[in-house]
Amino acid sequence: MTAPDTPTGHLVPLADRIRHATGIDPDQPSPTGRHGDGAVDDVLAAYRLLARAEQAVTFHRDALGHLASGRYTVDNACLSRLRRTVQALQESAADRDRCRENLLQILQPLEAAADRHRQATDDPVPAADLPALLSIAHSGAMLRENLISHRVHLVTSSGRRIAWPAYQRLENAGLVTRDTSHPLHAGQPVALTPAGRLALTERLADPAHSPAPAVRRPGAFPRPAPRRG
């Protein structure tokens, strides 16, 4: 277990709260640095600022301990360095407290929304929609309208095509969101909402709701090789 007086130790409870509210591990940054949701990105940015502030507190605290260790003669120069270090420690601690308060203000609405979502449904991701949600989570997706047929379809970055009714179920359940600042014919980026990521994480973590292994029916491809006489 991480010692509580280390920077990581102080951050562990908040990291757990972020995972509980968003389904995202704040200590594992996204390759792009963004998650497609402004509130989640704000929480992760605030968490990173708090982590840096905690490191500053540790740095100045260790410097103060080094100066007070008895290795140095207590003279005017030593006392001056002690005063400067104490002042820097006070300022870094105040900055750390501001960063923590800012993070909590952004995080608490997400926690409340996650709790409401848990209370609203026992199984937020139907088995039929789980593959679609997984595809969106893994590679992102784009919702487009065909200019000729006017049919709307969703295509993930990996090439998986998701039917419009399946997308509507996910959107109506609050599990996905799209960027409507783009016209539909040009493509609207689709991403999981915090509730969607949380629901997906919890569903996959629950053995009772995990996808069932595929069962090959008798005679299905590949067939056993025929015996040679």
- Answering whether pTM is above 0.75, one says no
Instruction: Report how far Cα 99 is from the mean position of its chain's Cα atoms.
Output: 19
CA–CA dist 134, 197 (Å, integer): 9
Give the position of tokens 């029916």: 217
Average pLDDT, the chain: 78
CA–CA dist 13, 18 (Å, integer): 9
Sign for the pseudo-dihedral over CA of 83, 88, 93, 98: positive
At 13 the pLDDT is 87
Residue 41: both structure tokens together = 């990105």
Q: Is residue 10 pLDDT above 90, yes or no? A: no
Residues 108-133: what's their mean pLDDT?
73
User: How many Cβ atoms from other residues are within 10 Å of residue 175's Cβ?
Assistant: 25
Residue 96: both structure tokens together = 């750390």
Q: Is residue 143 pLDDT above 70, yes or no? A: yes
Q: Is residue 169 pLDDT above 50, yes or no? A: yes
> Of the ranges 1-10, 118-127, 171-180, which is most confident?
171-180
CA–CA dist 137, 17 (Å, integer): 21
CA–CA dist 14, 20 (Å, integer): 10
DSSP class per residue in the chain: ---TTSHHHHHHHHHHHHHHHHS--TTS--TTS--S-HHHHHHHHHHHHHHHHHHHHHHHHHHHHHHTTS-S--SHHHHHHHHHHHHHHHHHHHHHHHHHHHHHHHHHHHHHHHHHHHHH-S-SS-GGGHHHHHHHHHH-EEEEE-TTT--EEEEETTS-EE-HHHHHHHHHTTSEEE-TTS-TTT-EEEEE-HHHHHHHHHHHH-TTTSPPPP-PPTTPSSPPPPP--
What is the share, in percent, of the chain residues with pLDDT greater than 90?
25
Q: What is the pLDDT of residues 62-110, one digit of tens each?
A: 999 999 888 889 999 999 999 999 999 999 999 999 999 999 999 998 8
At 118 the pLDDT is 65
Average the pLDDT over each of 101-115, 126-140, 156-170, 206-220 and give the range with the smallest value: 206-220
Residue 214: both structure tokens together = 């595929």
